[in-house]
A and B are shown apart, each in its own frame.
Chain A
């Protein structure tokens, strides 16, 4: 058990050190960007964000049922309750296209393009 505690402690110490070293990155747009889910469509269906910067994206779900914003390429997945909204931080991204879906209705897809 002592070794496990040591391991846990080392892990936590690493977190703390890394967090302290991690200087805050300025977001490109203070309010960030918004993606809205209505019925079976995202809008904008292709969101353009700046590459190389941390970006704040608000995802709103206007439907009567929960959805899940999921992007394998961005390594993000997060449930958005009905008539709710969530915040997702992504980046800094390399230039390119990143697709995402509503995991609860996988034909509803969209992309985020980093330029």
Chain B
């Protein structure tokens, strides 16, 4: 039961943290609950399907199908998060103002909400399939399956709990500053995912590694520590990063900062654009 609890907690923590940031970024937006639930639901269903085809996927594309699939899913999330970050750069202040003035929920376009729902779906999909495979293995070799299910559910609840603590912590940030804060977090998450995608592409032999451990901070924050896990979710932390991972991380941050700035300047802020 403990093994199931720990594994499910570990695997679902990343998705829980990413979803928490997205929920914080859409505070006061009507229908965001529907979109997010749909995203999580689609991700979970996809995870089940992916678990069935894991073996086939591994052997596809010359044995690197799984790596390319992971890279593609991560890059999709990077693209959508980037788009949202840039979009928020020009609409965030206006959104905050409107929420304050009207004192009720605001409506956000269908595009930003769908983009964020898909990001949630991709994070659930990636980690969820591992949970399904692990649980399936445990159930196959266990005499009693009930404790395993309970362990798994407790692990999931723990991850949701950590997310909720963070959400209510972030809820104390005034709305005007909240969007700026969540935008920075989303930028870091996107850059971290880009770095992870780069590592998958290296594993597939599509990209050169440019050094397999540029530095080693495993004695300070190891990958297996809880802080390491949380930092991995927020910015793709690795104690022994590859050169290409660092390039993708910094490249994404630079591109996003640049584009958010350019876009915010060229688009006039009018109330009709919310």
Which residues of A line the B interface, CB within 8 A? 1, 3-4, 7-8, 11, 15, 18-19, 22, 64-68, 72-76, 78-82, 84, 86-89, 91-94, 103-105
B64 interface residue (CB < 8 Å to A): yes
| Interchain CB contact under 8 A, A104 and B7 | yes
Which residues of chain B have a CB within 8 Å of any CB of chain A?
3, 7, 54-55, 58, 63-64, 66-67, 75, 79, 82-83, 86, 129-130, 133-134, 136-138, 140-141, 199, 201-209, 212-213, 218, 222-224, 238-242, 245, 255, 259, 262-263
Work out how many contacts link A and B, with CB atoms closer than 8 A: 104
The listed residue (B64, B82, B136, B242) touching A66 by CB distance below 8 A is B136
| A42 → B minimal CB distance (Å) | 17
Beyond known contacts A7-B255, A7-B259, A82-B140: 13 more, CB 8 A cutoff: A3-B263, A15-B201, A19-B206, A22-B207, A22-B208, A75-B199, A78-B203, A79-B129, A87-B63, A92-B209, A94-B212, A104-B137, A105-B3
Residues of chain B with a CB closer than 8 A to A7's CB? 79, 82, 255, 259
List of A residues within 8 angstroms of B201 by Cβ = 15
Residue in A1, A8, A18, A103 whose CB lies within 8 Å of B207: A18
B54 cross-chain contacts in A, Cβ below 8 A = 66, 79, 81
Instruction: Report A-chain residues with C-beta under 8 Å of the C-beta of B67.
Output: 78
In contact, A87 and B64 (Cβ under 8 angstroms):
yes
Contact B86 A3, beta carbon cutoff 8 Å: yes
| Pairs A–B under 8 Å by Cβ, sample size 30 | A3-B262, A4-B79, A7-B82, A7-B255, A22-B208, A64-B140, A64-B141, A65-B138, A65-B140, A66-B136, A66-B137, A68-B130, A72-B218, A73-B213, A73-B218, A73-B240, A74-B212, A75-B203, A75-B245, A76-B203, A79-B54, A82-B137, A84-B58, A86-B58, A89-B64, A89-B203, A89-B205, A92-B209, A94-B213, A103-B130
Residues of B with C-beta under 8 A to A3 = 86, 259, 262-263
Whose C-beta in chain B lies nearest to the C-beta of A11?
B75
Minimum Cβ distance to chain B for residue A92 (Å): 8
State A105–B152 Cα separation when bound (angstroms). 15
Q: Which residues of B contact A76 (CB under 8 A)?
A: 203
Measured between C-beta atoms, what is the minimum distance from B12 to chain A in Å? 14
Q: Which residue of chain B has its CB nearest to the CB of A67?
A: B137
Pair B212/A91 contact, Cβ less than 8 Å: yes
Q: In whole angstroms, what is the CA distance A80 to B54 when docked? A: 8
Q: How far is the CA of A19 from the CA of B138 in the complex (A)?
A: 41
Please tell me if the beta carbons of B130 and A79 are within 8 angstroms of each other in the complex. yes
Alpha-carbon gap, A81 to B59, bound state (A): 11
Contact B58 A79 (CB under 8 A): yes
Known: A3-B263, A89-B203. A79 touches B86 (CB 8 A): no
Which residues does chain A contribute within 8 Å of B64, judged by CB atoms?
87, 89
Give the residue name and chain of the A residue nearest to B80 (CB): A4
Q: Say whether A79 contacts B199, CB under 8 Å.
A: no
Within the complex, the shortest CB–CB distance from A83 to chain B, in Å, comes to: 9
Bound: A3/B213 CA distance, A: 33
Ranked nearest first, the 10 interchain pairs of A and B with the lowest CB-CB distance are A65-B137, A87-B63, A72-B223, A81-B55, A66-B133, A75-B199, A66-B137, A104-B134, A86-B58, A4-B83
